[in-house]
C-alpha cells in the first residue's frame, strides 16, 4: 500500500512538472542572472546608447547636449590629429601584435618540456602579464628607457651612446611596442594549453617518416595551433587598439604626436577639452574600425585556421 502511494505521488509530481511553463522551470536561472542583466542593461547597453546619442550632439558636461547631426564626424575627418592618431595606432597594432604572438609561442615551446621546477618557471615568466598594464609598470618602463636610464647605461659600457628613447619620434613607439611584447604571458599560457592538446601520435608518425624538428613544427605544431593563434590574434588586435595607460604614463602622446594613440586622443577630447560629443563620435568610429578588423580576421581564418585533429 505504501509503495502504491509513493508511485501515485511521483505521478502527480511529474504531471505538475509538465504543466509548468518554461518561465517557471527557469525561474531559478533567471534569478541568478538578474545582477548580470541589470549591469548589462544600465552600465553597458545603456551607456552605449547614450554614447551613440552624444555623438550627434555638442556637449561639454556643463550645458545640455545640443543636436548638431553629423557635424562631429565632419570635423573628425578634417582633423589632422585624428589622422595622426590613426597612423600611430595602426603602426603600433601592426608591429606589436605579431611580435607578441611570436615571442609568446617561442616561450610556450620552451616551457612545454616537463622538467623539475617547471611550474615555478611558468609562474615567474607569467608575472609580467599581471603587472604589465599597471601604472607602476609603465613608470618603471619609462625610467628604464630614460636618457640616463639603465638601458643607455648598459650600452655605454660598450661605448655606444644610447638615444633619447622616449623623446625621439622614431624610437618612442618602439618603447611602447617592447612593453607590449614584454606582456606576453596571457598568450603564452593559452599557447601552452594548446600544445598539450596536440596528439602525441602525430609527432611519433612524423619521426618514423624521418621528419626533422623544423618540419614537425611547421607541418604539425603550427597547423594544430592555428585555432589558438586565431584567438590570440583577435584578442591581441582588439586590446592593442585600446592602448591607453602606457601612452599616458610613458610618452603622453608625444613626441611630435608619434605616439598619439587613438584612445589617448579620445581621452584628451573628452576630459581635457570637454568635447564629449566629439569624443563620443570618436568612440563610434573606433568601434567600427575594431569591428572591420575583427571581420577581416574572421574572413581570413578560412584560409589558415585548421580545426581538424
The 10s digit of each residue's pLDDT in 139-179 is: 989 999 998 899 999 989 888 888 899 999 999 999 999 99
Nearest to 164 by CA among 148, 180, 177, 176: 148
Is 46 within 8 Å of 255 (Cβ atoms)?
Answer: no
Indicate the range of 108-112, 133-137, 205-209, 238-242 predicted with least confidence.
133-137
Instruction: Please tell me the predicted confidence (pLDDT) of residue 232.
Output: 96
d(C-alpha 86, C-alpha 300), whole Å: 23
- Closest among 163, 160, 184, 187 to 175, alpha carbons compared: 163
Give CA–CA dist 47/40, Å, rounded. 9
Task: Write out the three cell numbers for 268.
Answer: 584628451
* Residue ranges in the chain assigned as alpha helix (H): 2-19, 22-25, 27-39, 46-54, 71-77, 80-111, 118-131, 135-144, 150-156, 169-182, 185-196, 200-208, 213-216, 222-241, 245-246, 262-271, 276-304
DSSP single-letter state for residue 249: I
In percent, the amount of the chain with pLDDT more than 90 equals 58
Residues 7-19 have pLDDT tens digits of 456 555 555 555 5
The topology under which CATH files domain 96-259 is MetI-like fold (1.10.3720)
Tell me: cis bond preceding 186? Omega within 30 of 0 counts. Answer: no
Residue spans per domain, the chain: 96-259
pTM for this model (two decimals): 0.86
Amino acid at each position: 500500500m505504501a509503495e502504491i502511494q509513493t508511485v501515485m505521488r511521483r505521478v502527480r509530481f511529474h504531471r505538475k512538472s509538465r504543466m509548468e511553463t518554461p518561465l517557471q522551470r527557469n525561474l531559478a536561472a533567471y534569478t541568478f542572472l538578474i545582477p548580470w542583466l541589470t549591469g548589462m542593461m544600465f552600465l553597458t547597453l545603456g551607456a552605449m546608447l547614450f554614447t551613440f546619442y552624444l555623438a550627434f550632439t555638442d556637449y561639454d558636461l556643463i550645458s545640455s547636449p545640443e543636436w548638431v547631426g553629423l557635424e562631429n564626424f565632419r570635423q573628425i575627418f578634417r582633423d589632422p590629429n585624428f589622422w595622426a592618431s590613426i597612423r600611430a595606432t595602426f603602426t603600433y597594432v601592426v608591429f606589436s601584435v605579431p611580435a607578441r604572438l611570436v615571442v609568446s609561442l617561442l616561450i610556450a615551446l620552451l616551457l612545454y618540456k616537463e622538467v623539475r621546477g617547471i611550474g615555478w618557471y611558468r609562474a615567474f615568466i607569467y608575472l609580467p602579464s599581471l603587472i604589465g598594464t599597471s601604472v607602476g609598470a609603465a613608470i618603471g618602463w619609462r625610467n628604464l628607457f630614460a636618457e640616463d636610464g639603465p638601458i643607455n647605461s648598459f650600452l655605454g659600457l660598450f661605448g655606444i651612446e644610447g638615444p633619447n628613447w622616449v623623446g625621439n619620434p622614431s624610437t618612442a613607439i618602439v618603447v611602447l611596442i617592447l612593453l607590449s611584447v614584454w606582456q606576453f604571458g596571457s598568450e603564452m599560457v593559452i599557447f601552452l594549453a594548446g600544445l598539450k592538446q596536440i596528439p602525441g601520435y602525430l609527432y611519433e608518425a612524423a619521426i618514423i617518416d624521418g621528419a626533422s624538428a623544423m618540419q614537425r613544427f611547421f607541418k604539425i605544431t603550427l597547423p594544430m595551433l592555428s585555432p589558438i593563434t586565431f584567438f590570440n590574434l583577435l584578442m591581441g588586435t582588439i586590446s592593442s587598439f585600446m592602448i591607453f595607460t602606457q601612452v599616458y604614463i610613458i610618452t603622453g602622446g608625444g613626441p611630435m604626436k608619434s605616439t598619439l594613440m587613438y584612445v589617448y586622443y579620445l581621452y584628451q577630447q573628452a576630459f581635457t577639452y570637454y568635447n564629449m560629443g566629439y569624443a563620443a563620435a570618436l568612440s563610434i568610429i573606433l568601434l567600427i574600425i575594431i569591428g572591420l578588423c575583427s571581420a577581416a580576421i574572421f574572413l581570413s581564418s578560412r584560409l589558415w585556421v585548421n580545426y581538424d585533429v
